[in-house]
Amino acid sequence: MHKIIILDGITVPGLFLTLDFPNEVIYQELCADRDVSEAIAGSDIVITNKVKVTREHMQSNPQLKMIAVAATGFNHIDIDAAKELGITVTNVRAYSTQSVAEHTVMMMLTLSHQLIAYHQSVDVGKWQQSPFYSLPGPAYNELLGKTLVIIGKGDTGQAVAKLACAFGMNVLFSERKDATNCRPGYTKFEDALCQADILTLHCPLNDSTLNLIDHDELIQMKKTAFLINIGRGGLVNEQSLADSLRRGDIAGAGFDVLTIEPPINGNPLLQKELGNFILTPHLACRSSEAFQRLTEGLNNNLNAFIAGNPINVV
């Protein structure tokens, strides 16, 4: 009998495990960090979406054999410790690719067409008082012919590129920020920043990408450009972006992620008067179809591990 604990079931609603082996599942809605060691005591498999599993947690639970991440990103797992202790860590890859790509395009359209500003105008009664059939307001632009720069050429970056091409956009993939050579099919980072009408981030968060976009990068962009981050909180210096939006260094931004989530202690991007700025609560990956693929991926990872043929090992 394999004992499985789900540490943050609230993040994967409707999760239904169909496993090929005898099991006992313990469900926790949301385990606090301080309680993880005690919670996983006696379990040989842990399922976690965002709850951290550290070296200390692993060392205090020598029975632990597998950590199944119910997501693609695994920054919250001490991978080095897991390898040292012989614990297999798996993730679910590409389950949310389409959902995230569509959310990115939604941001692009909402920003470039000034949708929020016009909706707010209708909300306060301005259209109802207009002297003609429409309503004067901020100029907006089509995506056709605009240059989209994508940082990150993985599944999501390529899915965004495919959708952007359908709108007739010119798509460029940016080379890494500090790269000494520019690979075929990429544009130098500095050149890409200057050319971007829209810059969208779909790369992992690590030491080399922390604050990838900061004050110096923002002032290199066109004043008419938009910045989109559906990737990871921490890729953009949030205070620098808030300052840039107020100064008008760029025309707007759309974010689905923040450095600390939820932002219980506030965040510069929650402040007022940021202009054409959209913030959604880390939901780009949470479509119904994405959850279905996530559940299938978790089941496959768990069954393969117990069968002795682990897949999607990180």
| 261 is an active site residue | yes
How far, rounded to the nearest angstrom, does the alpha carbon of residue 283 sit from its chain's CA centroid? 8
Catalytic choice (76, 176, 215, 282): 282
| 202 is an active site residue | no
Smallest CA-to-CA distance from 153 within 199, 185, 188 is with 185
| 215 is an active site residue | no
Q: Is the dihedral of CA 285, 291, 296, 298 positive or negative?
A: positive
Concatenated DSSP letters for 195-219?
Answer: H-SEEEE----STTTTT-B-HHHHT
Catalytic choice (56, 190, 261, 296): 261
d(CA 153, CA 92): 18
How many other CB atoms are there within 10 angstroms of residue 87's CB atom? 21
Catalytic choice (232, 238, 286, 293): 232
Three-state DSSP class for residue 250: coil
Concatenated DSSP letters for 47-62?
Answer: EESSS-B-HHHHHT-T
With contact defined as beta carbons under 8 Å apart, do 234 and 211 qualify? yes
- Please list the active-site residues: 232, 261, 282
